[in-house]
Every structure is written in structure tokens, then in C-alpha cells.
Amino acid sequence: MANNSDTTEMPRHLRITDPSPWVVRFAPLIRAGGTALDLACGGGRHTRHLLGLGRKVVALDRSTEAMEDLASNPDCQVVNADLEQDAPVFQKPGKLAGCTFDGVIVVNYLHRPLLASLLDVLAPGGVLIYETFARGNERFTRPRNPDHLLKSGELLALAEGTLQVVAYEHGIIEKGPLPGVIQRLCAIKAEGASRRDDGEPEPRHVHPENTD
């Protein structure tokens, strides 16, 4: 777990240590022994959860002090990078140029110029698990800037034609440490050419326990 330093001065999202139930539900869909990218990992709550499931993790954020306890973990690579100011992280000379992942986790973060790249770095069969605030949240709490709020159906539009949507939700979430208007998606990248007449990606298991 993270170190035991006083957390009272931390930003609200860094004081949360439990992984998102959405991530907990779908993380087992990531290939056993595979490598996941925890994008904008914050305090590392999802990195730690994934490591506990036996996955390898690349944890990326512009501030990684909260991840110091994982520096010696051979299954975890902590990458310090500013996703909005540095050179494109997935392109040369970016720190993760050429990398692909069996899973990509994004929670409470939105930088639209990166969205298309997330599909590019997913390996065939890779799982995208995305959850963040959406339009309408400005009536409740931060964030209120539309640049940081998903439009209705925006994650569905991102997945269309490339990913098989396993689950999608959009609406007001009242319970939990960060209530508000939330949009969330779990979708899986096609592993090859579709055998369907309509060319859509092949359907996948909705429940992780059915993948064994």
C-alpha cells in the first residue's frame, strides 16, 4: 500500500485509496499476465489493484511521488510525464513510443487529444476501462470546465467500429467518494478481422468470470 504520510493536505482524488468499482468489475478481463497502462494514475489505487490481480502495470502521471513504494516492484514501471505539456507520450521521442498494452485504465481524467491514441496502444484483445465526469456535472461539483467533461455518448463514439462495447453507463452517481455525472465504458479491441456480415467487432463476455 501507499506510505503512511499525512493525507489531509492531498487533493481530494489522491485521498481515495479504494479502486473504482467499475475497474474492479472489469479488470479481470485483461489478459492474465498481461500489461496494463494506468493513465493519469494519481495515487496508484488502480495500479495496486491490478498488481494484486497478477497483471504487470505501467503507471503514468506528471506527479509520481505517491508511487515511490512501488519503485522496486519488478511488475510495475512508474513513468513521470506530463500528458498535456510533454511531447506526445506514445510517439517518438515519447517515453512510451511503440508500446502496446493488454489493458488501458483511465479514471477521472480527460484530455481529448489523447483519446485516439488510447485505441492505437491497445493490443488486439486489449481492454479499455474508462470512467470520468460528463456534461451536467457542472451543476453539482468540480470539474465544471467542458474541456474536462465528456459529451453524452462520447466514449461510445470513440469505440465505434474498433472496440466491442461490453458495458456503458452515463448518469448521476450519488454514492462514492466522487459523486457527480459519470460516464464509463468497458470495451475490448478486436483480435482480428470480423467474421460478421456487418463488419462489427465480435461480441465478448460481459462477465469476467466467464473468460476462464
CATH code, domain carrying 147: 3.40.50.150
pLDDT tier at 189, thresholds 50, 70, 90: very high
The boundaries of the domain holding residue 170 are 21-207
- For residues 179 and 199, what is the distance between their CA atoms, to the nearest angstrom? 38
pLDDT tier at 84, thresholds 50, 70, 90: confident
Is residue 137 situated within a structural domain? yes
- Is the model's pLDDT at 9 over the cut of 60? no
Helices and strands per DSSP (H, E), number in the chain: 4, 7
The whole-number pLDDT of residue 211 equals 56
Is residue 8 situated within a structural domain? no
- For residues 79 and 62, what is the distance between their CA atoms, to the nearest angstrom? 8
The whole-number pLDDT of residue 147 equals 81
Is residue 160 situated within a structural domain? yes
pLDDT tier at 208, thresholds 50, 70, 90: low
- Is the model's pLDDT at 6 over the cut of 50? no
- Is the model's pLDDT at 76 over the cut of 90? yes
**Number of domains making up the chain:** 1
Q: Give the predicted TM-score (pTM) of the model.
A: 0.86
The whole-number pLDDT of residue 91 equals 84
Identify the CA nearest to 127 among candidates 38, 67, 199.
Answer: 38
Please give the single-letter amino acid code of residue 168: Y
**Residue labelled with grid coordinates 483480435:** 191
- For residues 109 and 158, what is the distance between their CA atoms, to the nearest angstrom? 15
Is residue 212 situated within a structural domain? no
The whole-number pLDDT of residue 17 equals 82
For residue 150, the 8-state DSSP code is B
Is residue 11 situated within a structural domain? no
Identify the CA nearest to 149 among candidates 103, 180, 186.
Answer: 180
- Higher-confidence position of 136 and 111: 111
The whole-number pLDDT of residue 7 equals 46
Burial 50-84 (b: 16+ CB within 10 A, else e): bbeeebbbbbbbeebebbeebeebeebbbbebebe
Side-chain-side CA neighbours of 185 within 13 Å: the count stands at 24
Q: Tell me: the pLDDT tens digits for 45-71?
A: 999 999 999 999 999 999 898 899 998
